[in-house]
Structure 1
Amino acid sequence: MGAEREGRGRRRRMRVGAYVGCGAVLLAGCASMPDDGDLRGVESTPRQDAQVRVYALPPREDARPSEIVQGFLEALTSDDPDYETARMYLAGKALSDWQPSATTTVLDEGPNALVEPSGTREDDGDFLYRLTGHEVAQVDAQHAYKPADDDYNETVHLTQQKDTKQWRIDRLPQGVVMGKSDFQRTYVSVNKYYYTSFARAGQLGTVADPVYVRREVDPVTQMVRALLKGPTRWLNGVARTSFPPGTALKKGVRSLTPDDQNKLVVPLNGKADRVARGKCNEMAAQLLFTLQDLMPTGVDEVELQRSDGTQLCVLDEGGASHGAGGGADYQYFIDGEGRLVRMLASGADREPDAVPGALGTGDTELRSAAVSRDEDRAAGVSKDGSEMYVGSFESDGALGDPVVHSEGRTDTDRLTTPSWDGRGDLWVADRDPKNPRLLVLQGGEGEPLEAGTPGLDGRIEAVRVAADGVRIALIVERDDNQALFIGRIERDSDSSGEPSVSIVDLRSATPQLEKVKAMSWAGDSRLVVVGRESRGVQQMRYVQVDGSMLDGPQPASLTGVEEIAASEDERLPLVAHSEDGIVRLSSGAQWQTVVSEGMAPVYPG
């Protein structure tokens, strides 16, 4: 997460009292347009310099209806904390009932506004404008992002005020609407952190819940309030918060700011007054993880206060642990002799060594492997893809019997590369067309359990489970296309008391790509993906689990990529299997060849 914070820090805007637009940096009132025809130009701020804040202008005296519509739409993209300027364009029920936080609709370009019916006014003498565009995403009231691919079609109604004779909007859709470039300038993706509901005894794993907040409008307070409201709907069934139900900021608290010692004091309402010290430390840890993801320098210490202002608990970053999903000691891949080999994860060495134990001898040739997150054992898939073995790095004995067998007729109809989650469970997909299965071995041993996949349409080609053990990434093939989906892992017991596992609420993480070749988790809510768009060339990109595309630095281009490996610790190099063999990309460097023969690179997980 540290490197992820550093990347976000480089993109974060400074809070500078500048004004942008119309020659300076002000938004509304910049255009003069007729009262009929197609109104354009709402994409008002084409990616301004990062060191600005954007403000809107209020409506000018005797502004025409077209200017009111244009000014209002531009005001929606400003950094006004409560949309005060946008509200100046409203009247009547629109002024009292409009809720900008209800939803943020993102269009491919800024909304088009067309007076309707064209060239005429309504019978009552008022104006009706139709807003249109192509919708690419929505951010809901919980700040959760969801890709979309639909037509946007809404109307705003204007009336002339009887007392002032000024035109104002009196009917409009709830929420705000803006073009993609304005959204990328105005909003930032941040992880909220909760605890997993299905951790094993003695474990306290965390799970990231990405949301979008306005980057220049008191993001610290926004994120604290969002965290206190609990997980977003998609994650709610598998994540929990340590804050008691109903916990919120103390009444009257409007803004939170770390002090000059990088300490944040958070006054809470009475719902949290009686929590025990251990539970309070868990609450403070959630805040620390969340704010470290938000801010370039993070927050060093959090103090929670009761409703009467007394101290509830204090926690610094040294006392907070994420659980599974930390760094890695080694990178691993299969060498030209079918052995599992490893290199230092830091990239300090260039010569791989065979792993200890039977998987490193080459007696059973492998084509892929997965290493447990504690790096004590690994699962290896045989060269023909029909068998999966589990071996320890501490034992020199021969491999035991395979733990999974596939009956697929060809290599490509057999087992995928396996994956370990943070609970110590081992996952693999069998691509046998006659018996396709997603299997999980609890604790990496015993009889495989078949995971239910309701809603899955297609064949699983690749599996990667997040460190949290509650999210799974799947490459699914259907009609010769390969798409990346993120599913939620739900665990339960059947009527006989036997454990059951299901993958539910699958959602696309790469709606813009039609052929995903390879992927790997590359952060708490980020993946690195190799794929291509329709009629496009192969590309490598970072994507969020919610389907949004990060606007920061992307990996250097690399041709002929077959497989990719990344660590949740983003400071560690990317490793790929390409036409040049096993190659590695360290931060600030170019791709370098490690060995000319090798395949299936992986980090623990």
Structure 2
Amino acid sequence: MRRLAAAAAAALVLLLSACAGLPTTGAVNPGRSPVDVEADPDIRFIPDSPQPDASPEEIVSGFIRAGSGSQDGWATARQFLTESFAPEWNPLATVTIDRLTDRSTPTTPVDGVSTVEVTPIGIVDAEGAYQPHNGGVATLSFALTEENGQWRIADAPDGIVLFEEQFRSVFRSASLAYFDPLWQYLVPDVRWFPRTNSATYIARALVDGAPSPWLDGSVATAFPEDVGGATRAVTVSEGVAQVDLDGSALSLGQTTLDRMQAQLESSLRSPDITGVQMTANGSPLQARAAATVSTRVDAQSLVELTDGPFGFLDGDSVEAVGGLSPAVESVDAVAVQTTADLELAAIRTASGAVVRAAADGTTALLDQRPGLLSPTIDPFGMVWAVPAGDPAAVRAYAPAGGTIDVADAWPGATGISAMQVSRDGARIAATVTVRGHTELWVAGIRRTSDGAEITLGEPNMVAVLSGEGAGLAWLDDITLGVLLRSGGDASLREQPVGGPGTDLTIPAGVSSVAGGNSSARLLTDGGILYVRQGPTWQQLASDVRVLAVQQGMP
């Protein structure tokens, strides 16, 4: 929840009591970093049951408030429904996140129907996928009838409504882990599930479900379609989650089992779960999580100083990167991005050209189209480039030579201000102009088996941005850092791919952003390098000309 001053604590207690009953578990914690999204206390809301002789309006209000109580399949909320409608209502069909201050009170019923107006800021669908919402006011209708002398709801929309501060206490995010098509990286697919029995929801989604549609063709799963079985509840004993699969899992090969184990361990990992035991109809399956490539970057910033040296910042000096450093230094770079093995770098020069530099000291001119953005490089060494005024004209340049025109790039966008491939090479993000405003999009990358063709999947809109996109970086596997400018002000949006984002105040004059390990590194026009230390920005160095983006480390 948002950072609150101590003086507001009493008001918060009153708010929770009025909206959903007092939480019965969870400690009182001090404020936290805005990006520490999983540090929310494990609060359980116990909403009130219907009161005797409650009015129709009170029944509707109580039903909406009871959406915060996920215990026993939203048993309390079902008490507000008629006996025939209660088993039909599906609370997880959709979760509408709104602002409590914008929510209207229920109207007096007309022809037996009461309405409530809400202003959604986000929607979670039946699969747990979050989508921002800016569509204005939505009207919810509730049909009421008398049953056994008491007003009850006979018909209502499926789903629940939670105000934004309440949402994170009732739901938690989970990164369903899929593989890239070459089975080297784990690629996260962020979903939101009820905190109550969350391990069961996660396992069911991973084993019996499918990746989000925008990732279709860009990721792979080791779970065969016929393995099923995750319909049973996942139990946790001494930190180990027991996931029972169908008996068909007994016939799977060891490589498949090890990949399944890796997906489950990554997806279920939490403070309460440190291991996973797969079983097939109760029989233990022997598996060890398949090895995967890490996407962490070096803790030291990769920079070029104003007096020339390019390399890793080490105190007051710079440690050169073999033959790559002289190659970068030779081309008057203004933007640099390196492969994880530090063998190649994608560069935009002061003249606006895109160049590739190699660890053997050579450079190659790739693209001279007008208005090129800073390029990005993927795990295969392919350099991606696009002009700001033509978002569809994305090209990828292979390290051995050859150019690929990327198909289906950013349809509907009229401008693009930044573009970055994820460290796993399965996804690509961009800040684009759509109908006169700026949005953050991500898309899956689809490659043919021979690598000769590349297509982008249907874009997924992650956020509507409050300013012009001036920089973009993957801060980790699920979070993007977006440098925003609005008028003379600049800010940094830390935006998960599938969840609410946070706008951060940043030092004056910031001109570029690079990702660390779950945090941002910022460079100002004056050459000052900042890193984030908790809630503050700490100056790390001065006289820095270029802050390079790392796509991993050797």
- In structure 1, the residue matched to 2:37 is none
Distance 1:503 1:377 in 2: 23
Give, in angstroms, the shift of residue 563 of structure 1: 0.4
**Cα deviation digits, residues 56-87 of structure 1 (max 9, x gap):** 12112222212111111100022424000000
Of 177, 188, 203, 1:208 maps to 188
Of 131, 138, 142, 2:116 maps to 131
Contact persistence 2:521–2:530 (CA under 8 A) = yes
Distance 1:389 1:23 in 2: 57
Letter in 2 for 1:302: V
Give, in angstroms, the shift of residue 446 of structure 1: 0.8
Of 233, 236, 250, 2:213 maps to 233
Letter in 2 for 1:306: A
Of 480, 484, 491, 2:447 maps to 491
Within a 5 Å distance, the mapping from 1:434-513 to structure 2 comes to: 437-442=393-398, 444-452=399-407, 453=409, 455-477=411-433, 482-492=438-448, 499-513=452-466
Give, in angstroms, the shift of residue 593 of structure 1: 4.0
DSSP 3-state at the match of 1:181: helix
Q: What's the TM-score once normalised by structure 2's chain length?
A: 0.85
Distance 1:489 1:366 in 2: 27
- In structure 1, the residue matched to 2:283 is 310
Within a 5 Å distance, the mapping from 1:329-478 to structure 2 comes to: 330-337=300-307, 339=308, 341-343=310-312, 349-357=315-323, 359-360=325-326, 362-392=329-359, 395-396=360-361, 399-402=362-365, 404-408=366-370, 413=371, 415-431=372-388, 437-442=393-398, 444-452=399-407, 453=409, 455-477=411-433
1:270 to 2:247 alignment: yes
Letter in 2 for 1:514: G
Deviates further, 353-362 or 466-475: 353-362
Of 568, 572, 592, 2:539 maps to 592
Check 1:586–1:141 CA distance in 2 against 1; reply closer, same or farther (3 A cut): same
Distance 2:378 2:278 in 1: 32
Check 1:435–1:268 CA distance in 2 against 1; reply closer, same or farther (3 A cut): closer
- In structure 1, the residue matched to 2:227 is 247
Contact persistence 1:368–1:599 (CA under 8 A) = yes
Letter in 1 for 2:278: L
Larger radius of gyration: 1
DSSP 3-state at the match of 1:389: strand
DSSP 3-state at the match of 2:464: coil
Give, in angstroms, the shift of residue 92 of structure 1: 4.5
Contact persistence 1:375–1:604 (CA under 8 A) = no
Letter in 2 for 1:108: R
DSSP 3-state at the match of 1:343: strand
Q: Which consecutive residues of structure 1, in runs of 5 or more, have no partner in the other structure? A: 1-7, 12-19, 31-48
Give, in angstroms, the shift of residue 545 of structure 1: 1.5
Check 1:298–1:513 CA distance in 2 against 1; reply closer, same or farther (3 A cut): farther
1:166 to 2:139 alignment: no
Check 1:106–1:435 CA distance in 2 against 1; reply closer, same or farther (3 A cut): closer
Give, in angstroms, the shift of residue 142 of structure 1: 0.6
Contact persistence 2:103–2:116 (CA under 8 A) = yes
Contact persistence 1:422–1:466 (CA under 8 A) = no
1:545 to 2:497 alignment: yes
Of 130, 153, 174, 1:145 maps to 130
Give, in angstroms, the shift of residue 547 of structure 1: 5.4
- In structure 1, the residue matched to 2:292 is 322
Contact persistence 1:111–1:132 (CA under 8 A) = yes
Contact persistence 2:382–2:397 (CA under 8 A) = yes
Aligned length: 522
DSSP 3-state at the match of 2:510: coil
1:74 to 2:65 alignment: yes
Identity %: 22
Q: What's the TM-score once normalised by structure 1's chain length?
A: 0.78
Give, in angstroms, the shift of residue 191 of structure 1: 0.6
Letter in 2 for 1:388: V
**Cα deviation digits, residues 287-334 of structure 1 (max 9, x gap):** 111122xx13651x3221111x2221243xxx5433252333653223
Give, in angstroms, the shift of residue 540 of structure 1: 1.6
**Cα deviation digits, residues 449-485 of structure 1 (max 9, x gap):** 1112251412333221012222101122468754422
- In structure 1, the residue matched to 2:56 is 65
Give, in angstroms, the shift of residue 263 of structure 1: 2.4
Distance 1:342 1:389 in 2: 16
**Cα deviation digits, residues 164-223 of structure 1 (max 9, x gap):** 2011000111111222222233222221101123x3xxx5222100001122x1222221
Contact persistence 2:175–2:267 (CA under 8 A) = yes
Of 74, 84, 104, 1:112 maps to 104
Distance 1:555 1:601 in 2: 22
Check 1:286–1:169 CA distance in 2 against 1; reply closer, same or farther (3 A cut): same
- In structure 1, the residue matched to 2:45 is 54
Letter in 1 for 2:368: S
DSSP 3-state at the match of 2:506: coil
Distance 1:537 1:91 in 2: 54
Contact persistence 2:52–2:150 (CA under 8 A) = yes
Distance 1:206 1:518 in 2: 26
Deviates further, 585-594 or 60-69: 585-594
Contact persistence 2:60–2:106 (CA under 8 A) = no
Give, in angstroms, the shift of residue 146 of structure 1: 0.9
Check 1:132–1:499 CA distance in 2 against 1; reply closer, same or farther (3 A cut): same
Of 495, 511, 514, 1:562 maps to 511
Contact persistence 2:296–2:476 (CA under 8 A) = no
Contact persistence 1:416–1:462 (CA under 8 A) = yes
Distance 2:251 2:103 in 1: 50
**Cα deviation digits, residues 544-586 of structure 1 (max 9, x gap):** 1235226xxx76632221100013x33xx63221144141315
Check 1:67–1:504 CA distance in 2 against 1; reply closer, same or farther (3 A cut): same
Letter in 1 for 2:337: A
Check 1:340–1:416 CA distance in 2 against 1; reply closer, same or farther (3 A cut): farther
Q: Which consecutive residues of structure 2, in runs of 5 or more, have no partner in the other structure? A: 4-11, 23-39
Distance 1:329 1:101 in 2: 41
Q: What value does the CA root-mean-square deviation take over the aligned residues?
A: 3.1
Deviates further, 56-65 or 21-30: 21-30
Contact persistence 2:391–2:410 (CA under 8 A) = no
Contact persistence 1:359–1:391 (CA under 8 A) = no
Contact persistence 1:540–1:555 (CA under 8 A) = yes
Contact persistence 1:526–1:544 (CA under 8 A) = yes
- In structure 1, the residue matched to 2:271 is 296
**Cα deviation digits, residues 7-61 of structure 1 (max 9, x gap):** x9x99xxxxxxxx97799585699xxxxxxxxxxxxxxxxxx9363211121122
Of 242, 266, 282, 2:259 maps to 282
Distance 1:365 1:601 in 2: 13
Give, in angstroms, the shift of residue 116 of structure 1: 5.0
